Structure 1
Amino acid sequence: MDPPAHETFRLGPFNAPRLWTGLWQLSSNAWGTTSVSKIREAMGRHVALGHTAFDMADHYGSAELIYGQFRASLASPEAVIGATKWCVFKPTTISEETVEAAVRQRMERMRTERVDLLQFHWQDYDNHDYIAALGILLDLQRRGLIAAIGLCNFDAPRTDEICARFPHTIVSNQVPFSLIDTRASFALAEVCTRHNVKLLTYGTLCGGFLSDKWIGEPEPDPYGSLNPSQRKYLDMIVKAWGSWALFQELLVVLREIGDLHNGASISNIATRWVLDHPVVGAVIIGARLGCTEYPSDNLKVYALALTPADRAQIDAVLARSAGSRMIETIGDCGAEYR
């Protein structure tokens, strides 16, 4: 049987796949480690299967460097898309020199003549210099140093402000979106649809909790063997969304739906559910490259078509959760990081 056709979407000048590989787990040894050569080999396996877009950041450890080494080894380096970030977490002097230096550092580390997608994160909304920073980034794009500009963890009001100030320039906003965390489907979805901005979503598998592995398992000890992502999402599941018991009910429903779709995994169903939102361009699936990765299983998402009955089953569980209130209890997308 032939593999399913890859779904793509338009992202600036790129025809990008709708499943991306996230490299945030290279930011810490807490997720497990392996050799750089094995990581590059794993990247090759992903690309061979059509997973040609990689997401990283300036603070994800050696992710940009390893990606740059891998890209330089390819006979056709233009076949891959490298998305990275410039994250301003603390007060920074915004000038043409400082912004260009940040972009050129990304280019140097990634061994590329331009950054494919530069995603901008700004920590302090009270400091409106993010507008000046974006203006300089757009100048650098005109000069050819950046192919496309996106945002990262910007909420609905600031995304709207930025897109109104710089129309037809921002192509994406990277935010959390999952069956558990649906905040992006509220005001942000409306704003992004109006401005033709696509969401690149992370946390879609909740650190791996939305998988077959956790069916029937007791609630884990947050101070046990969980990795940093799992601790964050466990807290969200049991404190903000609902309870571990309700989460188990969701997993059972997802497993039953998967059985109706040629044995698709829970992760496949959870990913497809997010991808089916029109505002979503791609889901970024984190991988412990060379340690734990599921590039072949992820491909099954492309063959999935959830039915109205499937969605009704899922909605019935979600309706019993506090998911629709999380935008009030936690705040809009990105609020948990500020």
Structure 2
Amino acid sequence: MTVPHILLHDGHRIPQLGFGVFKVPAAEAERAVSAALELGYRHIDTAAIYGNEEGVGAAIAASGIPREELFVTTKLWNDRHVGDEPRAAIEESLGKLGLDRVDLYLIHWPTPARDDYSHAWERLIALREAGLTRSIGVSNFRVPHLERIVADTGIVPAVDQIELHPAHQQRDVTDWAERNDVRIEAWGPLGQGKYDLFGAPAVADAAAAHDKTPAQVVIRWHIQSGFIVFPKSVRPERMAENIDVFDFALDDLEMAAIDALDPGDGSGRVGAHPDEVN
């Protein structure tokens, strides 16, 4: 299974489909990540707040896969933006992961009420310069947050990882990202099962036409839209299904029909609003 890579503006390449471990219990993380690696996943997305970095690291160590073939992301939590906390936080994460660097380090949320995300971004720039991470980016940043950190530092994030699925496409953020050469990573790419995405005719009809599952159709929509995507499952059969999306393509009409599932008013959001997480 060959997963395509996307070139980041800093010159590094990132696998377009990865394995996310959000809400994977610590006791299950090693098994789940090991299964994902066996199935061909080479991009693992975790975070300090997930509490499972040790399991991810154990799976990586046991896999025998050369480090240069893996892409590992973790994230800075909200209460560690100030002072030298970002460096202490990434060093703790690296210790748990058993790595000397990660491939991508993200600010997990902007926490606008704290008003310290610009300082955190300055520290991530220093962490990249120190070699503790190859690339740096943000997560859950809206356009005002993005514009602020670029104005303050002159450094554009390599990625913005945001809630993105057919009912909530955040086109203001994706348009800004396209103009500024920022790659979009989609979390909750299947809507977290919180609405009947798979029953939508645009999805169900495409699944029938291509003899694929509705989930595979939505993941394929993300891929063809140019997004980096993390479908999450701890079931090996579902992990295998999620990565089996490179032997078909949606046509322009099918893509447009799924594009049209976003009502355009923000009502499709199923996760927390970035302005309200502090």
Q: Same fold (TM over 0.5)?
A: yes
Residue 86 of structure 1: how far off its partner (Å):
0.6
Distance (Å, rounded) in 2 between the aligned partners of 1:151 and 1:293: 31
Unpaired stretches in structure 1, ≥5 consecutive residues? 29-34, 210-232, 238-243
Distance (Å, rounded) in 1 between the aligned partners of 2:268 and 2:57: 40
Letter in 1 for 2:123: I
Residue 46 of structure 1: how far off its partner (Å):
2.1
1:188-232 residue CA offsets vs partner (Å, 9 max, x unmatched): 11221122111110111122x3xxxxxxxxxxxxxxxxxxxxxxx
Of 18, 27, 42 in structure 2, the residue corresponding to residue 52 of structure 1 is: 42
Residue 162 of structure 2 aligns to a residue whose secondary structure is strand
Of 52, 60, 72 in structure 1, the residue corresponding to residue 61 of structure 2 is: 72
Distance (Å, rounded) in 1 between the aligned partners of 2:68 and 2:225: 29
Contact 1:201–1:284 (CA<8 Å) still a contact in 2?
yes
Letter in 2 for 1:189: T
Distance (Å, rounded) in 1 between the aligned partners of 2:63 and 2:270: 43
2:83 equivalent to 1:95 = yes
Distance (Å, rounded) in 2 between the aligned partners of 1:59 and 1:331: 16
Distance (Å, rounded) in 2 between the aligned partners of 1:84 and 1:93: 15
2:249 equivalent to 1:309 = no
Residue 83 of structure 1: how far off its partner (Å):
0.5
Relative to 1, partners in 2 of residues 1:293 and 1:199: Cα closer, same or farther, differing over 3 Å? Answer: farther
Of 67, 73, 79 in structure 2, the residue corresponding to residue 83 of structure 1 is: 73
Would you say how many aligned residue pairs link Structure 1 and Structure 2? 276
Contact 1:107–1:114 (CA<8 Å) still a contact in 2?
yes
Residue 301 of structure 1 aligns to a residue whose secondary structure is coil
Relative to 1, partners in 2 of residues 1:111 and 1:324: Cα closer, same or farther, differing over 3 Å? Answer: same
2:201 equivalent to 1:255 = no
Residue 166 of structure 2 aligns to a residue whose secondary structure is coil
Contact 1:53–1:82 (CA<8 Å) still a contact in 2?
yes
Residue 169 of structure 1: how far off its partner (Å):
4.5
Distance (Å, rounded) in 1 between the aligned partners of 2:188 and 2:71: 20
Q: How is 1:298-337 mapped onto 2 (pairs within 5 angstroms)?
A: 298-314=242-258, 318=261, 323-326=263-266, 334-335=274-275, 337=277
Residue 112 of structure 1: how far off its partner (Å):
0.7
Letter in 2 for 1:21: F
Relative to 1, partners in 2 of residues 1:307 and 1:139: Cα closer, same or farther, differing over 3 Å? Answer: same
Of 266, 280, 283 in structure 1, the residue corresponding to residue 229 of structure 2 is: 283
Partner of 2:218: 270
Distance (Å, rounded) in 2 between the aligned partners of 1:328 and 1:205: 12
Identity percentage of aligned residues: 22
Residue 154 of structure 2 aligns to a residue whose secondary structure is coil
Letter in 2 for 1:163: V
Partner of 1:106: 93
Relative to 1, partners in 2 of residues 1:149 and 1:315: Cα closer, same or farther, differing over 3 Å? Answer: closer
Unpaired stretches in structure 2, ≥5 consecutive residues? none
Contact 2:18–2:229 (CA<8 Å) still a contact in 1?
yes
Structure with max Cα Rg: 1
2:1 equivalent to 1:26 = no
Residue 128 of structure 1: how far off its partner (Å):
2.9
Partner of 1:226: none
Of 107, 132, 136 in structure 2, the residue corresponding to residue 145 of structure 1 is: 132
Distance (Å, rounded) in 1 between the aligned partners of 2:34 and 2:271: 39
Partner of 1:195: 180
Residue 201 of structure 1 aligns to a residue whose secondary structure is strand
Letter in 1 for 2:61: A
Letter in 2 for 1:264: K
Distance (Å, rounded) in 2 between the aligned partners of 1:56 and 1:158: 22
* Cα RMSD for the two superposed structures: 2.8
Distance (Å, rounded) in 1 between the aligned partners of 2:244 and 2:271: 33
TM-score by length of 1: 0.72
Contact 1:24–1:56 (CA<8 Å) still a contact in 2?
yes
Residue 301 of structure 1: how far off its partner (Å):
1.7
TM-score by length of 2: 0.87
